[in-house]
Amino acid sequence: CETFPLAIQLPFKGKVRWQDFDQDLYVGATVVRPGQDPYARNKFNQVESDKLRMDRAVPDTRHDQYVVPLSTRLIWLHTTVLVLKKSPPQLVKEIILVDDYSDNPEDGALLGKIEKVRVLRNDRREGLMRSRVRGADAATAPVLTFLDSHCECNDHWLGGRVAEDKTRVVSPIIDVINMDNFQYVGASADLKGGFDWNLVFKWDYMTLDQRRARQGNPIAPIKTPMIAGGLFVMDKEYFEQLGKYDMMMDVWGGENLEISFRVWQCGGSLEIIPCSRVGHVFRKQHPYTFPGGSGTVFASIQSRLEMKKRLGCKPFKWYLENVYPELRVPDHQDIAFGALQQGGNCLDTLGHFTDGVVGVYECHNAGGNQEWALTKDKSVKHMDLCLTVVDRTAGSLIRLQGCRENDSRQKWEQIESNSKLRHVGSNLCLDSRSARMGGLTVEVCSLSLNQQWKFTLNLQS
């Protein structure tokens, strides 16, 4: 991992060094009072966050994993302070905080007293994408680093990868800051960013071959189909040249997929840099509201399509084949696709192959053993294995067998508004009641919750 010499810089007139900023005064204004929900405001535990010091030590998680319970109020102050503390000063020209019309203008304004910090406040709620573009437009340095407000930069997180080639867009390995107790946990270095067909970002574990290939050089940059989107570095000119973000995008979400597709298809690349680690508070829900409902955020993409044409961008098919060949693409033979879900559990091959039984396992949204397709010829398929009813009596175990055309033992259909799977030849339903005692079975169709199954994606509805 590269390191940079640390030059000493003095703060500008009228600004304070981060070490001299009065954290207690700043944090004290928004403490959670007894009886208030600590998750209400930010969807993470603010009581725990407020206990931390603004410059808490962050464990060095590079090439290793460990958990260290440590002590900051993670929102702006902490993120800002750690950028200053963990970066060679000559690499940080300024920190631009965009306050997207938060309820208290002081939150941002006070931070503007810290060295290098500039605060821009929107005069109405603009959402993530337009706020980022506003910050980027205001920036005077040649390279942009986007960071969410709830991050902790680790040692040596900033490097020169983008300066060498401005078409590289790079992201750190994103360590996990627990939203309940704010423990900092190192993330695996064997992950790439991807997405599922609900267009939700997910992490993909590298294949065995990919991991083997990296053994000799574990710190080599990892080409990734997708970046998580909250934390990345991009050349400012290149960001502008590629069309920044779609200014018609509202609120939050989806922009990470869009910019990832655009970078790859329009001639750039995305990389995860294993030497760079930044912690991030992953929340179960985002704290934003969608005025009028999330269905109202769709807008015309005509001008974006024209822009991609102008830039000579490659088609999405090229991206799927060359950048993300691991992704299984639902085809015109599929009626339904993805995980087959029952509550929090999913139909799982359990790693079994021909003649093995199937079971359920906690849904992991990573495809793999939980990826299924119901096809037009009525088979329930995982790769080239099909769910097979060997014995057509209630209570008999279902097995995986190679898919065969016209084998009635492998024919299934969705019934009752696609909530159940019925084996056509026996009229029995896929059932999980014996999942823990041997595997999934077929049973007389009933109202039992053990027979309720839902595909991630129904392509006919």
Q: Which residues bind Mn ion (CB under 5 A)?
A: 148, 230
Q: Is the CB of 145 or the CB of 441 nearer to Mn ion?
A: 145
Q: Is the CB of 281 or the CB of 435 nearer to Mn ion?
A: 281
Q: Is the CB of 178 or the CB of 396 nearer to Mn ion?
A: 178
Minimum distance between the CB of residue 367 and Mn ion, rounded to whole angstroms?
23
Backbone φ and ψ of 324, nearest 5°:
-130, 55
Q: Is the CB of 79 or the CB of 342 nearer to Mn ion?
A: 79
CA 392 to chain centre: 43
Q: Is the CB of 225 or the CB of 230 nearer to Mn ion?
A: 230
Minimum distance between the CB of residue 148 and Mn ion, rounded to whole angstroms?
4
How far is the C-alpha of 74 from the C-alpha of 281, rounded, in Å? 8
Q: Is the CB of 74 or the CB of 143 nearer to Mn ion?
A: 74
Minimum distance between the CB of residue 88 and Mn ion, rounded to whole angstroms?
25
Q: Is the CB of 72 or the CB of 388 nearer to Mn ion?
A: 72
Extract the tokens encoding 133: 């573009």
Minimum distance between the CB of residue 280 and Mn ion, rounded to whole angstroms?
6
Q: Is the CB of 44 or the CB of 319 nearer to Mn ion?
A: 44
Minimum distance between the CB of residue 231 and Mn ion, rounded to whole angstroms?
8
Minimum distance between the CB of residue 150 and Mn ion, rounded to whole angstroms?
6
Within the chain, what is the greatest distance between any pair of CA atoms?
Answer: 83
Minimum distance between the CB of residue 128 and Mn ion, rounded to whole angstroms?
9
Minimum distance between the CB of residue 53 and Mn ion, rounded to whole angstroms?
22
In the complex, residue closest to Mn ion by CB: 148
Minimum distance between the CB of residue 283 and Mn ion, rounded to whole angstroms?
7
Minimum distance between the CB of residue 452 and Mn ion, rounded to whole angstroms?
33
Cβ-based neighbours of 322, under 8 Å, separated by 6 or more: none
- Reduce the secondary structure of the chain to three states and give it as a string: CCCCCCCCCCCCCCCECHHHCCHHHHHHCCCCCCCCCCCCCCCCCHHHHHHCCCCCCCCCCCCCCCEECCCCCCCHHHHHHHHHHHCCHHHCCCEEEEECCCCCHHHHHHHHHECCEEEEECCCCCCHHHHHHHHHHHCCCCEEEECCCCEEECCCCCCCHHHHCCCEEEEEEEEEECCCCCCEECCCCCEEEEECCCCCEEEEECCHHHHHHHCCCCCCCEECCECCCCCEEEEHHHHHHCCCCCCCCCCCCCHHHHHHHHHHHCCCEEEEEEEEEEEEECCCCCCCCCCCCHHHHCCCCHHHHHHHHHCCCCCHHHHHHHCCCCCCCCCCCEEEEEEEEECCEEEECCCCCCCCECEEEECCCCCHHHCEEEECCCCEEECCEEEEECCCCCCCEEEEEECCCCCHHHCEEEECCCCEEEECCCCEEEECCCHHHCCCEEEECCCCHHHCCEEEEECCC
Extract the tokens encoding 262: 């655009």
Strand 168-177, strand 269-281: pairing: parallel
Q: Is the CB of 4 or the CB of 282 nearer to Mn ion?
A: 282
| Cβ-contact 273, 221 below 8 angstroms | yes
Q: Is the CB of 202 or the CB of 214 nearer to Mn ion?
A: 202
Minimum distance between the CB of residue 242 and Mn ion, rounded to whole angstroms?
22
Q: Is the CB of 43 or the CB of 118 nearer to Mn ion?
A: 43
